Amino acid sequence: MSSVPSATALAWAAADPYEAALRAGRGPLFLRRTDGWLLPLEVERWCAGADPVDRDVLDRCEGAVLDVGCGPGRLVAELAARGRAALGIDVSEAAVEHTARLGGQALRRSVFEQLPGEGRWDTVLLMDGNIGIGGDPRALLERVTGLLRPGGLLIAETAPADVDERVRVHITDARATTGDPFPWARLGTRALLRYARGRWERAGQWTAGGRHFAALRSRSSRTTSSSAEPPKRTAVISSQRGRNTSGGRPVADR
Ligand SMILES: C[S@@+](CC[C@H](N)C(=O)[O-])C[C@H]1O[C@@H](n2cnc3c(N)ncnc32)[C@H](O)[C@@H]1O
């Protein structure tokens, strides 16, 4: 874990086009690879409420949920509305503000910084391509292992194609491109399972609405921290304490 924000975190936090798109609730917005290839970012969908595909993902979550790179917070807000303990983290101020406006709890923090409830989260979400954060999937998986309780669940959205790409990108609205390129990764499910081999157990794999997902269960057997404080308390989600710790059904292939 580092206290120095990564290039990816700094780039998203300082990206005016991302900030502007979240505040407007719409794109166009892209990740532009250094060779010019554009990956569209679905800002409208992210700024809308949770859709049926999202809700199915949330049904599979167990216990207290940490949404890494929560963006404008539709998932955290939906979990809060269900009375679930959930925290979003994001490096973007506009994202955290939007999440709070929707009624979700969020912290402006990088996943690679110190976080509440380390080693005690029941589920971590990496949605909408967030497996790309930091541009080093192995390092991100290692970090997520440290956030989850032993046996905790990671649900990750993967790329529709069978890719394993580590790239350098800019965030752009296709008019202006500013700043240095930063590392990002795009992984299909096969590549994710390859990175997960040994440290994770496969807990599910499904496709819905053209989106692809994989669920992995941490095999880590490290003992949790001596503090008995549950993540939902540490994350100051006290209003939801005791209401639900295991609303989701177990993950299974569908
Ligand atoms: C591809 S977008 C996904 C958006 C999101 N899942 C949603 O529902 O809108 C990536 C998100 O991750 C955030 N992010 C990038 N690097 C991060 C980091 N190191 N830690 C936490 N969040 C990060 C960005 O600010 C952005 O909101």
Ligand 1 center to 69 CA (angstroms):
3
Ligand 1, residues at Cβ distance < 6 Å: 6, 8-9, 12, 46, 68-72, 74, 89-92, 95, 110-112, 127-130, 133-134
**Which pLDDT band holds residue 1 (cuts at 50, 70, 90)?**
low
The pLDDT tens digits for 86-124 are 999 999 999 999 999 999 999 999 999 999 999 999 999
Q: Which of 41, 78, 90 to mutate to test the pocket of ligand 1 (most atoms within 8 A of CB)?
A: 90
Backbone angles phi, psi at 151, to 5 degrees: 85, 5
How far apart CA 227 and CA 215 sit, in angstroms, is 28
User: 131 vs 84, 151, 154, CA distance in Å?
Assistant: 23, 19, 11
The pLDDT tens digits for 39-62 are 999 999 999 999 999 999 999 999
List the one residue out of 136, 143, 151 whose CA is nearest residue 115.
Answer: 143
Predicted local confidence at residue 64, as pLDDT: 98
Predicted local confidence at residue 32, as pLDDT: 95
List the one residue out of 159, 153, 149, 136 whose CA is nearest residue 215.
Answer: 153
Q: Which atom of ligand 1 is nearest to the CA of 90?
A: 22
Neighbour count for residue 230 (Cβ, 10 Å): 19
Q: Give every CB contact of residue 120 below 8 A, 6+ residues apart in sequence.
A: 64, 149, 224, 225, 229, 230, 231, 234
Ligand 1 center to 31 CA (angstroms):
12
Predicted local confidence at residue 246, as pLDDT: 28
pLDDT exceeds cutoff 60 at 83:
yes
Q: Which of 188-192, 200-204, 238-242 has the lowest mean pLDDT?
A: 238-242
How far apart CA 74 and CA 65 sit, in angstroms, is 13
| Residue owning the nearest CA to atom 7 of ligand 1 | 71
- Whether residue 28 has a cis bond before it, omega within 30° of 0: yes
Q: Give every CB contact of residue 168 below 8 A, 6+ residues apart in sequence.
A: 33, 34, 135, 181, 182, 183, 184
- Where do the structural domains in the chain lie, given as residue ranges? 51-165+184-244
CATH of domain 51-165+184-244: 3.40.50.150
The pLDDT tens digits for 132-173 are 999 999 999 999 999 999 999 999 999 999 999 999 999 999
Decide: 87 and 239 in contact? Cβ < 8 Å: no
**Which pLDDT band holds residue 5 (cuts at 50, 70, 90)?**
low
This prediction has a pTM of: 0.88
Q: Which atom of ligand 1 is nearest to the CA of 43?
A: 9
Ligand 1 center to 226 CA (angstroms):
30
DSSP state, residue 128: T
Q: Which of 42, 91, 110 to mutate to test the pocket of ligand 1 (most atoms within 8 A of CB)?
A: 91
Categorise residue 166: left if φ over 0, alpha if ψ from -120 to 50, beta otherwise: beta
List the one residue out of 108, 58, 102 whose CA is nearest residue 84.
Answer: 58
3-class DSSP state of 105? coil
| Residue owning the nearest CA to atom 16 of ligand 1 | 9
